[in-house]
Amino acid sequence: MEKTPQIGLRLQGDVSVIDIKGDVTPIAGPLIEAAYREATSSGAKKILFVFAHDGYINSGGIAILIGILSESKKHAQTIRITGLSAHFQKIFGMVGLTKYAQIHSSERPPWPPSSA
Amino acid sequence: MVSEKKFEVHVPSVLGCEKVAMDFAASVARTINFPPDRVEDLKTAVAEACTNAIEHGNKLDASTKVGITLTVADGRLQVDVEDEGRGIRDVPSPDIDEKIAGTSNPRGWGIFLIDSLMDEVKFESTPEGKNVVKMIIHLER
């Protein structure tokens, strides 16, 4: 019933960009987690999630992102988010995700300086 | 005398069908000129209530259905989502810090979102023993 989302991983300088097109629900979980693991195994310290502006995100999808944010702390990674509609920016704020991942309007957000 | 308009749809207990209910609710809300941000709130609340009904109420049994009734009356829109489960008694208060720390399950946001986005939420049982979540938005807000 649910359509499989399209997840892509690309490099933008030293930033690993994970593109998410489609619904963010538990169905998307393994694909998003696989892209995150691939970025992590390549040594990524800066990861940008690019959501589709018209995508649907449910609470199960939020749980997937929480799992990734939890993992990112162990790897000392910085996560940024862009592409969200105003509604899902509000939802992410309600849930508290914005404490752990800043939301930006640009695909080139500011990043903390890289450690040597 | 207050005129009441009622809209109903039933969806099978299959994950993904909550989007049918979500789009149905959004269509009704737009016809009564809900502002776009409130339509989005309604979509998320209806989708979460239906997902809970499918997963927890009807336990993913595709032979059962989730009933969604929208009632427009008296300056408010009420959405009832009915399943065959036993319902919930308390609204949880999930803690993002605990979930990020890995000390609690990262899931469990559905009821929290419904409660945060709607003006009123009630969890009740029908006389037939079914569970119903009643979500209300005041139109003038």
Residue A20 in this model has a pLDDT that exceeds 90? yes
Cα gap B128→B118, rounded to integer Å: 26
pLDDT for A116 equals 46
ipTM of the complex: 0.90
pLDDT for B2 equals 61
Q: How far is A23 from chain B (nearest CA, A)?
A: 10
- B116–A69 CB contact, under 8 Å: no
Residues B136 and B76: beta-carbon distance below 8 Å:
yes
Taking CB atoms and an 8 Å cutoff, what residues of chain B touch A23?
19
pLDDT for A2 equals 61
**Partners of B91 in the β-ladder:** none
Sheet hosting strand B131-138, strand order edge to edge: B5-12, B65-73, B76-83, B131-138, B120-125
pLDDT in tens, A38-80: 999 999 999 999 999 888 999 999 999 999 999 999 999 999 9
B17 touches chain A (CB under 8 A): yes
Q: For A81-100, what is the mean pLDDT?
A: 97
Burial of A85 from C-beta contacts in 10 A (0-12 / 13-18 / 19+)? middle
Residue of A nearest to B96 (CA): A96
Best of B50, B97, B99 to substitute, by most chain A Cβ atoms within 10 angstroms, is B99
Residues B85 and B131: beta-carbon distance below 8 Å:
yes
Q: Which of B16, B47, B43, B54 is nearest to A2 (CA)?
A: B16
Delineate the domains of chain A, giving CATH numbers in brackets.
Answer: 6-104 (3.30.750.24)
Cα gap A99→B41, rounded to integer Å: 22
Residue A3 in this model has a pLDDT that exceeds 70? no
Cα gap B83→B62, rounded to integer Å: 12
What parts of chain B have a pLDDT lower than 70? 1-2, 141
Cα gap B18→B83, rounded to integer Å: 13
Q: What is the secondary structure of B111-133 as a DSSP string?
A: HHHHHHHSSEEEEEE-TTS-EEE
